[in-house]
């Protein structure tokens, strides 16, 4: 089995989005005097493993359910193309799950040691929940991605858990103001998922994958997209003005124009034409996270 096939199946283009919340939480903590290089390394590693696990499980689940067929609009998946078998993918899911657990345990120990057992237990359960969420998105008879619940889980894990959880690993504190950027990053992440589901809306409906885009329809899913993206921009703006110490806190404004251009294109495009917007919104979300983080360090 060629390594290039596994690299393709890992879908590395999804990593910047998954790292957005983690990086933002880390940089805000660093700006407040909380930082640990080992926590940074293992939080990034754990997040990458969770995302790769999700991508493997998504490939496997959609293949088993027959969603990845000749009607698929997006890039061809690994199992669908025959490059990786279902058995091989199942083994990869198991191995990546174990690696994720090990990495999460090391991260928790580095952050909390033996002194904060309650915190350690909470984050361990949270880690198990992340693994379960990654797998159950498309795998199994109760796969939540097939019932229109993917948006909820992406919002929780890519937004709230990523930003607030990352910050807590360093500071051991909860800062309610961080709910604003956490919700914003979560909404941007939901926007990326919604684009994916809008692109695949027609074939997903045929295959019985009832995503929120399928339930809302072409027009409804676009209105939904505009609403969550605009709310995210407003929340980031409010957060930046609340934390305003210097003009540096407003550097995120550089990302506003790309977002507006994105919304204009989404209004005009449909189906496969939306595919390039996934990458653009994902990278813009990561860019916004970096800008917000840098503003709180310099």
Does the pLDDT at position 244 exceed 70? no
- Are 146 and 210 in contact by the 8 Å Cβ rule? The answer is yes
Q: In the chain, what are the domain boundaries?
A: 3-295
pLDDT tens digits for 247-297? 766 777 778 889 999 999 999 988 889 989 999 999 999 999 998 898 888
pLDDT tens digits for 199-229? 999 988 988 899 999 999 999 999 999 999 9
pTM of the model: 0.94
Q: How many CA atoms lie within 13 A of 197 on its CB side?
A: 30
CB atoms within 10 A of CB 44: 19
Closest C-alpha among 77, 92, 73 to residue 201: 73
pLDDT tens digits for 56-76? 999 998 888 877 667 667 677
Indicate the class that CATH gives domain 3-295: mainly alpha
Q: How far is residue 295 from each of residues 176, 207, 240, 247, 290, measured CA to CA in Å?
A: 19, 45, 9, 9, 8
Cβ burial of 103 (10 Å; 0-12, 13-18, 19+) is buried
């Amino acid at each position: 089995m060629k390594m290039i096939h596994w690299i393709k199946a890992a879908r590395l283009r999804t990593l910047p989005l998954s790292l957005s919340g983690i990086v933002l939480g880390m940089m805000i903590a660093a700006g407040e005097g909380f930082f640990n290089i080992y926590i940074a390394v293992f939080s990034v590693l754990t997040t990458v493993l969770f995302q790769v696990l999700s991508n493997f499980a998504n490939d496997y689940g959609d293949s088993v359910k027959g969603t990845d067929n000749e009607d698929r609009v997006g890039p061809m998946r690994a199992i669908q193309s025959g490059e990786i078998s279902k058995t091989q993918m199942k083994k990869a899911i198991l191995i990546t799950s174990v690696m994720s657990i090990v990495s999460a345990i090391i991260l928790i120990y580095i952050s909390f040691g033996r002194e904060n057992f309650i915190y350690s237990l909470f984050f361990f359960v949270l880690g198990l929940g992340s693994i379960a969420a990654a797998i159950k998105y498309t795998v199994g008879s109760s796969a939540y991605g097939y019932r229109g619940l993917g948006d909820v889980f992406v919002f929780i894990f890519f937004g709230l858990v990523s930003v607030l959880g990352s910050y807590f690993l360093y500071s051991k504190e909860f800062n309610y103001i961080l709910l604003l950027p956490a919700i914003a990053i979560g909404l941007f992440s939901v926007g990326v998922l919604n684009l994916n589901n809008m692109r695949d809306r027609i074939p997903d409906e045929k295959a019985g994958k009832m995503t929120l885009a399928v339930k809302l329809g072409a027009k409804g899913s676009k209105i939904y997209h505009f609403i969550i993206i605009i709310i995210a921009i407003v929340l980031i703006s409010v957060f930046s003005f609340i934390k305003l110490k210097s003009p540096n806190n407003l550097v995120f404004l550089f990302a506003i124009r790309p977002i507006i251009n994105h919304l204009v294109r989404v209004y005009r495009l449909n189906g496969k034409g939306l595919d390039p917007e996934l990458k653009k919104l994902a990278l813009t979300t990561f860019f916004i996270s970096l800008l917000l983080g840098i503003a709180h360090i310099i």
